[in-house]
Amino acid sequence: MRCTSCRSGSMEENTTTYFAQLENCYVIIENVPCLKCVQCGDVVYRSSVMENLLKKGPQRY
Ligand SMILES: [Zn+2]
């Protein structure tokens, strides 16, 4: 898969720390699987991962 930001780097499996601000709290989730560009470091989350985070995140954290 090619990076959508720099259009030259390739995306590789990686993990990152997801950070989001919800209505009245902050959510920090470590070791979230993602694809990271080896060239510019841009991170893309899989849509299934994001769905899980949005569904479970506010209750679990
Ligand atoms: Zn890139």
pLDDT in tens, 22-57: 889 998 989 999 999 999 999 998 778 777 777 765
Q: Which residues have their alpha-adjacent CB atom under 5 A from ion ligand 1? A: 3, 5-6, 9, 37, 39-40, 42
- For residue 61, the model assigns a pLDDT of 45
Could you give the CA distance from residue 44 to residue 14 in angstroms, rounded to a whole number? 10
- For residue 22, the model assigns a pLDDT of 87
Among 25, 27, 31, 37, CA closest to 49: 31
The values of phi and psi at residue 52, to 5°, are -65, -40
Amino acid 2 reads R
11 CA to middle of ligand 1, Å? 7
| Cβ–Cβ under 8 Å, residues 27 and 36 | no
Kindly tell me if the per-residue pLDDT of 6 is higher than 90. Answer: yes
37 CA to middle of ligand 1, Å? 5
